A and B are shown apart, each in its own frame.
Chain A
Amino acid sequence: MKRSDIISGTLIVLVGLLMIFVVVPRQIKSFSGYGLDPAFFPLSLLWLLVALGALLVATRLLKPVDPEAEGGGLDGSNWAYIGTAAMYFVLGFLAITAVGFVIAGAGMMIVLMLAIEKREARWTEVVLFPVATAFVIYWLLYNVFSVQLPSGPF
């Protein structure tokens, strides 16, 4: 974890500083009433975050090496995987907004089932189960909890 800790600590410091000097001044207006300024708490926590991020980097640079723990963290395949997963969510979000929960949800499930099963997937299972599941969830939420999931243009 040593390398990952150094990277994550550095990232935390950078994000914290970005928030302190760019985001907070633009996103929180100062208020001259009584008590503390609205930005006081977020800024205090962000400075604490920056300090802790720096401390994480510093301690990992000075700490004794634990060979077993070195195996943790993220490698190239993890980054590729989470990038794909994020893309999957973005596309899923757009699809639900565009065509509704049942069709998009079934589509999202089919993609996952194919990814898990690869070549051994049975087409009847891969199509019927997602469609039935998406429909049952939609029906249950609509009829039992009066929640209308996005229905798209249909």
Chain B
Amino acid sequence: MDQILLGVGDALAIENVLLIAVGVFTGLLVGAIPGLNGPMAIALALPITFYLSSLSGIAFLIGIMKGGTFGGSVAAILLNTPGSPEAAATAMDGYPLAQKGKGLKAMKMALYSSVFGDSVSDIVLFCVAAPVAVISLKMGPPEMASVLIFALTIIAGLSGKSLIRGLIAATLGGVIGTIGLDPESAVPRMTFGFVQLSDGVSLIPMTIGLLALSEIIVQLEAQILGRAGAAKRLNPFAKEVPRENKVVTWAEWRACFPTTLRSSAIGTGIGALPGVGAVVAGFLGYASAKRASKTPEEFGTGKLEGIAAVEAANSAVSGANLIPLLAIGVPGSLTAAVLIGAFLVHGVQPGPLIFQDHPRLIYGIFAAMVLANIFNFVIGQAGLRFFAFVVSFPNRFIYPAVILCCIAGAYAGANSMFDVAIAFIFAVVGYFMRKLDFSFAAFIIGFALTPQAELYVRQTVILYGDRPMTLLTDHPIVAFFLALTTYSVIRIARYQRKADHARVALREGATSNDAPDLEITVRDRSEP
């Protein structure tokens, strides 16, 4: 109890409260600008956390994460261009509402349901993470190795559109993760004579290159080659718009509440699974709301319920996402993988021991999440006019400035131009990954988990190298997770094959009853 109170007290320190508010504002701002998104902003802000305390730094990044989720919906509603991938489904009903002059109402409903979904998810995190951590503390190296192999396979299989491409991305991340000194013998591995690579490839410049710079390169390509679609911004604040089109009434909120609650549960469940992510949660929330509705034909024509369904589901992912990270040390998403960097910068290893070794920090983070939700609501509500303005801020200013911030951020981590070079190299790698549809989440999580997995495997070999068969007979959890991994790979492969066949059949005109749902979940699956 003392630790809880101390943690909450830390989070309420004026410095931390301000940092959370700044984080939420930054997330909202970045999320609102099409082409920029939350994970990118977190990667860029990561070097700043070097200069903050562990709680301040992580709370700041959590603020960005929470703000970024709702921020994406502003552009989706006003421009029909999602500010972030998870807001893609928000545009389906948001933009038609904005065309009807109800853009402000749509943005407010998005904000309310987003904050609600996020809060539900956080409550589940607070209740579930510690008990799961207690269970995982009882696991030894063989069990942890098998859990990591299972988690990596699931992430690789579910975070992209193709199982094989996902596995390739995770394996490639793993290969990069082995660069540096060998954990047992300290023999340099693939360092090519660069002393800077002795500790391995640094996560910060790598994520800046992969997430931020490569995204800007892709956006610039569309701009420079003239492939960017022109978007017309609708003004929801115009004087001629009647007042009832600018507010969400109590009756409207109450009518949408069951949908919001259902989507929050869906998003929380999806978020707790490593690798699935907010985009899928958003589409699943939307599909389930449509299925449950008495007027499904109205979905897609500007229905508030559609917005509530998507926003509650995609926001509910963010809290639950941290369950695998804090309980077993497995980042469940791209954002969680980047957050690992913030923990490691301050010498904190995410995983079950965190509740034992750093309880004050953990409860501080939980309190910071609650504060971030409050700020998300307050800043989102007060700043809607501003965020509606920034969605159409000219790209000619934004992209070059972001590139310069990326260079400064990559350099700031270690005061080294070597890290800037790493960021540039991964920017080009990231461009190819985007174009060829290899999952970033799988790559970064593979990179982040490999050193840990390698250590567990090595410990297992030392412990059981002379009697390998007892590993399976004496450790049923290992056998269970290895069997589950094999089963999951087969299931995912079969599902994807079925989806591919369904897509081809749909295009040829042959439709089946379940094909449209399959189409939504498969086609729009993207980065978590």
Secondary structure class of chain A's binding surface, majority of residues: helix
Within 8 A of B (CB), among A66-85: 66-69, 72-74, 77-78, 81-82, 85
A38 touches B417 (CB 8 A): no
User: B165's contact among A23, A38, A56, A74, by CB below 8 Å, is which?
Assistant: A56
Output the least CB separation between A97 and chain B (Å): 6
Q: Whole-angstrom distance between the alpha carbons of A8 and B431 in the complex? A: 13
Output the least CB separation between B77 and chain A (Å): 26
Output the least CB separation between B425 and chain A (Å): 8
A129 touches B397 (CB 8 A): yes
Residue-wise interface mask of B (385-408) relative to A, using a CB-CB cutoff of 8 A (1 in contact, 0 not): 000000000011101110111011
Residue-wise interface mask of A (23-46) relative to B, using a CB-CB cutoff of 8 A (1 in contact, 0 not): 110011101011110110110011
Residue-wise interface mask of A (132-154) relative to B, using a CB-CB cutoff of 8 A (1 in contact, 0 not): 01100110010011111110000
Determine the interface band of chain A, counting residues with CB < 8 A from chain B: 35 or more
Whether, in the assembled complex, A127 has its beta carbon less than 8 Å from a beta carbon of chain B, the answer is no
- Residues of B within 8 Å of A141, CB to CB, are 408, 412
- Residues of B within 8 Å of A55, CB to CB, are 164
B408 touches A137 (CB 8 A): yes
**Can you name the residue of chain A whose Cβ is closest to the Cβ of B497?**
A63
Whether, in the assembled complex, B462 has its beta carbon less than 8 Å from a beta carbon of chain A, the answer is yes
A23 touches B458 (CB 8 A): no
- Residues of B within 8 Å of A72, CB to CB, are 435, 437
- Residues of B within 8 Å of A48, CB to CB, are 171
Q: Whole-angstrom distance between the alpha carbons of A5 and B175 in the complex? A: 20
List 19 additional A-B contacts (Cβ < 8 Å) besides A59-B164, A86-B428, A109-B401.
Answer: A12-B168, A19-B175, A28-B188, A28-B190, A29-B187, A34-B462, A35-B458, A35-B461, A39-B189, A46-B175, A49-B175, A64-B501, A82-B217, A82-B432, A93-B420, A96-B417, A97-B417, A101-B407, A147-B415
What would be 8 A-B contacts, judged by CB atoms less than 8 Å apart?
A28-B189, A35-B462, A42-B189, A86-B428, A93-B417, A105-B404, A115-B220, A147-B411
- Enumerate chain B interface residues (CB-CB to A < 8 A): 48, 50-51, 164-165, 167-168, 171-172, 174-175, 178, 182, 184-185, 187-192, 217, 220-221, 223-225, 395-397, 399-401, 403-405, 407-408, 411-412, 415, 417, 420-421, 424, 427-428, 431-432, 435-438, 450, 454, 457-458, 461-462, 500-501, 503-504, 507
By Cβ-Cβ distance, the 9 closest A-B pairs, closest first, are A38-B182, A109-B400, A89-B424, A112-B400, A31-B185, A38-B187, A42-B178, A116-B396, A147-B412
